[in-house]
Amino acid sequence: MWFDNYFLTFVRSIILRRRLRSGSPLPEWFQRDIIRASRRLGRPIPTNQIDLLGYNIYFMGEFQFRVLFKEIYIDGSYFFQASDDRPLIFDCGSNIGMSVLFFKKLYPNARIVAFEPDPFTFEILRRNVDQNHLSDIALHQIALSNRVGDIELFRDTSPDSASLVMSTLRQRHNVRSVIVPSQPLSKFISGKVDLVKLDVEGAEEAVMNDLIGADKLRLVRRLHLEYHHHIDKSVDSLSRMLRLLEENGFGYQLRAHTLAPWPSEASFQDISIYAYRN
């Protein structure tokens, strides 16, 4: 049995190495770290804590943790090429902090402003930042919207869940209600921002409109934006977001994720948009 597991891990490492070398934008040293980490993840994780990539990481459920590792590290979903070694990054929707750890691994001197509304998830985020002795990180336990106040969000009750969703998603989840404070992102931006990573579970259009209304979007150089298409199955509004980017001087690339077969009608999709200054 041990030989079979070792052999499978070895084969997966070869496949992953070829995949990274053929299409990953990540530096070679980072790719090597990811390959070593994937070997470690070839075994079950007995607790909600793991030493990985030079970090001591706490998480909620093993499945969710593995999904985050694949999306953020193997797929390199939030990679960007900074103009210097000390970029300013706004991480909106930090979850347990896997993206924060990614940015700090890629740019150790990065300055990061991180937002996570769920009180329980936020404490894990804080723990992952504090126990790894990361500096130049400001953490905010708030939801981002276009107004100051309180907002009702809904949390999936499954053990693996670690995110809040907008009320329009509540029929798609076994959920419980959480009231969290809400503030506009524009209040936190006072100068040039190298990257805004925006994964706010349905509030992305409100946040972007706030940045435009406050004349702050002009200060943003790049965006990694998670657009939640067909949250409301009767509404098709992707063109509004793309027009907003075009009218404010951004080019963009798109990648779509869905569990529905192709073609499907009115199916929910996560659409990743990488936007950059023309």
Let me know if 177 is exposed, middle or buried by CB neighbors in 10 A (0-12, 13-18, 19+). Answer: exposed
Give yes or no for a cis peptide into 263 (omega within 30° of 0): yes
Summarised one tens digit per residue, pLDDT across range 18-50 is 666 667 888 999 999 999 999 888 888 999 999
How far, in Å, CA of 63 to CA of 54, rounded?
A: 21
Q: What single-letter amino acid sits at 178? A: V
Among 208, 222, 217, 215, smallest CA distance to 252 is for: 222
pLDDT value at 140 more than 90:
yes
Rg of the chain on CA atoms, in Å: 19
How far, in Å, CA of 219 to CA of 1, rounded?
A: 56
Percent of the chain at pLDDT > 70 equals 85
Query: How confident is residue 3, by pLDDT bands cut at 50, 70 and 90?
Result: very low
pLDDT value at 1 more than 60:
no
Strands 269-277 and 137-140: unpaired
Query: How confident is residue 157, by pLDDT bands cut at 50, 70 and 90?
Result: low
